[in-house]
Amino acid sequence: MLSSTVLSSFLVFAILATTALAYPAEDKNQTFIEIITTDDITKLNDLPKGAVLIPLSQNPQTRGTRYTFGKRTSKDDCVDWNGSTAKYRTPRNVQQNVRYPLAGIGKVITYIQIDVDDSSNNQRVYITSGGIGERNVAFVIESKNTLYFTYYYRIYGQ
C-alpha cells in the first residue's frame, strides 16, 4: 500500500490522467510512478505486479472547474495566491505559467487549489516541477479556443 504522502505527490503529477498507475520501484524507499492517459480502462489489462490504479477527476463547480492537489493541514497557511481575468474578441489559446516562490526558499507545500473558468470548457492544469511536500512548485494553466479566461489559485504550506 502506498503512503498518503506518496499518493498525494502522485496525484499532483497525474491530474490530467483518466487513470494513473503506481507500483513499487526496486528500491523499497522509492515508488515508481507511471502516468497513463486513457478513456478506455480495458487498455490497462496487463498491469505490472503490485500496480495500483487510481482514477482521477476534476471537480466541476457551478461555473468553471476547481483543481486540487494535496490536503490542508491544521498547521498550514496560504503562502501565495493570485488570479486574473481576460476577455478576447476572437477565440484564442491561453497559457498561464505560475511559480512559487518567485525567489528564495518557500514553505513546504501541503495543498494547491486552482479555479479556472473559460468559454470553451477546454482547459487543463499540470505541474511542471516541485509540488506537494516540496518547497517549490511550477504549474501551467491552459485553455483552448476561449473567448474569456479566468483563473485564481491558492498555495498552502507550512
DSSP-assigned states of every residue in the chain? ---HHHHHHHHHHTTT-SEEEEEE-SSTT-EEEEEE--S-GGGG-SPPTT-EEEE---EE-SSSEEEEEE---TT-EEEEEEEEEEEEEEEEEEEEEEEE-SSS--PPEEEEEEEEEESS--EEEEEEEE-TTSS-EEEEEEEEEEEEEEEEEEEEE-
What does each of the 158 residues of the chain score in pLDDT, given as a tens digit?
A: 444 443 333 333 333 333 334 444 454 444 444 545 455 556 556 666 666 555 444 555 557 899 999 999 999 999 999 999 999 999 999 999 999 999 999 999 999 999 999 999 899 999 999 999 999 999 999 999 999 999 999 999 99
Q: Which of 19, 28, 24, 15 is nearest to 48 (CA)?
A: 24
Q: From CA 14, how far away is CA 147, in angstroms rounded?
A: 28
Pairing of strands 77-100, 59-60: unpaired
> pTM value?
0.62
CA angle 13, 139, 93 (to 5 degrees): 110
Cis peptide bond N-terminal to 24, omega within 30: no
